Structure 1
Amino acid sequence: MAFSGPLEDRLALRDLLDSYADAVCRNDGADWAATWVEACRWDLAGFGELVGKSAVVETWTAAMRGFPGLVFQAWPGAMTVAGDTATMRSYTCETYWRDGEMRRDFGEYADQCAKIDGRWYFVSRQFRSSRRSESDT
């Protein structure tokens, strides 16, 4: 089954994913950073693996300078909750303007999450690009 575990935890994981996406859209580094544990890992296909919250946030902050007005959408494809740990698969669509054209990047994340003091966080996110649209008209 694609979704298993307590409904309350699955809703909280959806809140985590939505909070992450909202922070990206608002380019809010503090709120985005608040979705990660300190000892996190972010693996971006083609860009390498970042380890530790400071490296993850620093890289994201620098990257976001190149994407003003980015709209980031994310939705879950699967969640499995086992106690205070969970795995999640999510899909993304990033819409932005570059060189006078609207572009969209589609991707998939494989996530490991942990519940700490009653709140869910990303422990690791592994990104894989699905498809890129050079322009949409």
Structure 2
Amino acid sequence: MNDFQAIADRVELAALQAEFTDAGMTHDLDRFAALFTEDGRWVIPGVEEFGSRAEIRAGIERLQKLWQYFVQNAHPGVLELEGDTATGRTYIQEFGLMRDGNSYANYALYHDRYRRTENGWKFAERVYEVRYLDTTPLEGSAPA
């Protein structure tokens, strides 16, 4: 692989990471699921595990109905390119209020595996790991 291909791959993978957050924040559930390979896995240990694009689509729809509001910020981490596959991490900061009144603020990361497809890079797997969790009630609110 030449240096230009490696640069292009890194740009595409960074865009994929950003698009995950954007699709989730804008409730674009079809786009969210399409970021994964057909057999892609999305794992939130102790909460949910989805083993296909169809499961991911149904799962994100169900999960989003639990939140009154939810905000996620993603920060790029390490990427290791290996031809048509790659691994990496994305650092996450998020907070939100669930419809049951519980609040969450956390710092976490995704451990990612990527695969190049005919439609570009996709997530083959995203495994979520919470590093800090605060369940203190949030004082703010979402705009009306």
Whole-angstrom CA distance in 1 between matches of 2:70 and 2:94: 7
- In structure 1, the residue matched to 2:117 is 116
Aligned sequence identity (%): 25
Partner of 2:33: 33
Alignment: residue pair count = 133
Aligned 1:117-132 pairs, distance under 5 A: 117=118, 119-132=120-133
TM-score scaled by length of structure 2: 0.82
Consecutive unaligned residues in structure 2, runs of 5 or more:
140-144
> RCO greater where, 1 or 2, for CA within 8 Å and sep 6 or more?
1
Query: Which protein shows a greater Rg?
Result: 2
Computed over aligned residues only, the root mean square deviation of the Cα atoms, in angstroms, reads: 2.0
**In the alignment, is the contact (CA less than 8 A) between 2:88 and 2:112 conserved in 1?**
yes
Corresponding residue for 1:73? 73
Match of 2:55 in 1: 55
Structure 1 residues not aligned, in runs of 5+: none
State the 4+ residue runs in structure 1 displaced beyond 6 angstroms. none
Aligned match of 1:134: 135
Contact 2:34 2:53 in 1 (8 A): no
Q: TM-score, normalised by structure 1?
A: 0.86
Give the corresponding residue for 1:87: 87
